[in-house]
Structure formats: C-alpha cells, structure tokens
Amino acid sequence: MSLSTFVSLLLTFCVPYLVYIKFTIQPKRGFSILFITIIGIGPLIKLELLGILALLLLIFTLFIKDKNIQIGLFLASFFILIQVFSASINISLLNYLMIYFLPISLISGIFSLMMIGHWFLVDPTISKEGMKKIAIVTSLQSLALIPLVQFDFINSGIVPIYKLIIIFLYATTSILAFASYKSLNEKSYTGVMAATGLSYLSLIVSIGASGTLLLLS
C-alpha cells in the first residue's frame, strides 16, 4: 500500500466518526466545516471523478437541514470513497474491509477524538460523553488488533521482530486511549486538555503500529 492511499483511507474512515460526533455530541457548524475540509484532502490526493463526487456530497451536508438526508449523503459519500480506494489497491471490497478496516479506522477514531477534544477547548459547552465513548472504542479496538496480528489474520508475511513491535505499539495505544477516557471523567476543564494531549500520543503510536502493519503488506 502506498503512503497516499494510506492517508486517503485514514481520512475516509473519519466519515463515520464525523456522523457520530455531529449527531450525538452536536458541536457547532464550524466543526463540521473544519472536519470535512480535512477529510476532503483524501479525494483530492487521487483526483478521481467518483472521489470528487463523494467530496461534493460531504459538502452538501453542510447546507441540508433534514437529518435523514444528511445521514444518507454521509453514507453515500463514505461508500463511494471506500469503492474508489479499494479499486486503487486491486482487491475485492470484502477483503479490503477485513484487512484494512480495523487498523485504519483505529487511527481515524483517535484522530476524531483529538479533533473534538480541540473543539471542546473552543466550545466547552459540548458534552464529553461522546468523546468518552470514542476513547473506549479505540482502546478496545487496539486490544482486538493484537491477536489478529499475533495469529497472522492480518498481513501474515510480517517478520517476527516487526510483529512484536506492532503488538507493543497497539498495546501502548490501548493504554493511552484508556487514559484519555479516564481523563475525560474529570469534571474540570483540565481533564479534556489532558485527554487531548494523550490523544496526540496515541495518534502517533497508532500510526506507527497500523502504518508499519499495512505499509509492509
């Protein structure tokens, strides 16, 4: 897998997290504008017609009031982008989801947690509950990846030393994500600041783990 495809997939898997954040945490409209702008880097890297269509669908969600239509546009955009990038690495959609979904969506989840953590510092009125759920999901996701790597369910051709490094990085990611969750339980403003800082660390470590895992494939 090329680095550009890896980045594009990482941003694509942020779409479901954006939907979750938008409709549960409910930050102000500026957050959606910022996040869609960042996600839009993925289609622009490839510059394919379907990718641009998916980006336009994301942009349309900013102007639609109806929640169901918005969700439909988000889903359509997400699956179009999945199809575009699965075609670029020449594997079936099912194998694509089995091999790449967990490692890359882990990074996307942590990145999304970091984004909403930063937004909380701008708008401290938003709820922390959704942020805590993302932190828990990413912590458990990191743990789930450890046996998948250990028993060669993902990328069976890894040299043992690299496998040990990847497993260690996933274990570290899980600990850091859980520490973010615990920080968010603090009632003070500094709890979110600590969680955001920890999400930076877990993002770097998860990129090291999933990046090594998939770029070696």
Q: Are 84 and 54 in contact (CB under 8 A)?
A: yes
Beta-carbon count within 10 A of 24 CB: 13
pLDDT, one tens digit per residue, over 97-126 is 667 788 999 999 999 999 999 898 888 888
Output phi, psi for 159, to 5 deg.
-65, 140
pLDDT in tens, 121-154: 888 888 888 899 999 999 999 999 999 898 887 7
Q: How far apart are CA 204 and CA 209, in angstroms?
A: 9
Q: Note the pTM of the prediction, 2 decimals.
A: 0.90
Q: Where are the domains of the chain?
A: 3-215
Residue 89 pLDDT grade (very low, low, confident, very high; cuts 50, 70, 90): low
CA 60 from centroid of its chain's CA atoms: 21
Buried b (16+ CB within 10 A) or exposed e, 67-105: eeebeebbeebbebbbebbbebbeeeeeebeebbebbbb
Residue 155 pLDDT exceeds 80:
no
